[in-house]
Amino acid sequence: MIPKDPVMLLSFINLKLRDYYTNLESLCDDLNIDRAEIEVKLSNIDYHYDEEKNQFV
């Protein structure tokens, strides 16, 4: 499962994006997680997905 703590979630998602996935959509599809839920949780700590960088910044 994915981490519940937002900071740990940020690290987990960015690592997966960097090492395994070309975009957030493919990560969410593969791991069967809700993209909107991830984006809301990370926006709560002021991180937003940057498609060009393929990471939350």
Q: In the beta sheet, which residues pair with residue 55?
A: 50
Pairwise CA distance, residues 26 & 23, whole Å:
6
Cα–Cα distance, 37 to 52 (Å, whole number): 21
Question: Is residue 1 domain-resident?
Answer: no
* Torsion angle of the four alpha carbons 7, 20, 33, 41, in this order, in degrees rounded to the nearest 10: 20
Identify whether 49 is part of a domain. yes
The whole-model pTM stands at: 0.94
Residue 35 domain flag: yes
Q: Which helix (H) or strand (E) holds 19?
A: helix 6-19
Residues of the chain with pLDDT below 70 are none
Percent over 70 (pLDDT), the chain: 100
Domain ranges, residue 22: 6-56
Domain total of the chain: 1
Task: Report whether 56 contacts 42 (CB < 8 A).
Answer: yes
- pLDDT value of residue 1: 84
